Amino acid sequence: MYARVVRFTDVTAETIDRVKAMVEEAGGPPPGVRSTSMKLFYDADQETAVFTGFFASEQDMRDADQIFEAMDPGDTPGVRASVDHCEVVIEREA
């Protein structure tokens, strides 16, 4: 499994509400993004967010990267501070 992890700064609660509504309305990720799941973490005190999209293959992650990079910055939670492309090496749920 692979994950695209993006850290955002300057994230407001209103922006998080807008992004949540946008994802719920769309029923999932943008067209062409073949993610198996996604998570958005928000720290209101620091006004930061971390988005993690999970993918079955590295190729699916790389293909999605092109779509995410082409997104209008207004459709993201805030200012992109970093983007990591990771292989998930441990996954464990209690």
Report H helices in 1-94.
13-26, 58-69
Residue 23: what pLDDT?
85
Closest by CA position to 8, among listed 35, 55, 53, 41: 41
> What's the token pair of residue 79?
């200012």
Residue 27: what pLDDT?
82
53 vs 84: CA distance, rounded Å:
11
Q: What is the pLDDT along the chain (94 residues), one digit of tens a residue?
A: 999 999 999 999 999 999 889 888 888 788 889 999 999 999 999 999 999 999 999 999 999 988 888 877 777 778 889 999 999 999 998 8
pTM comes to: 0.85
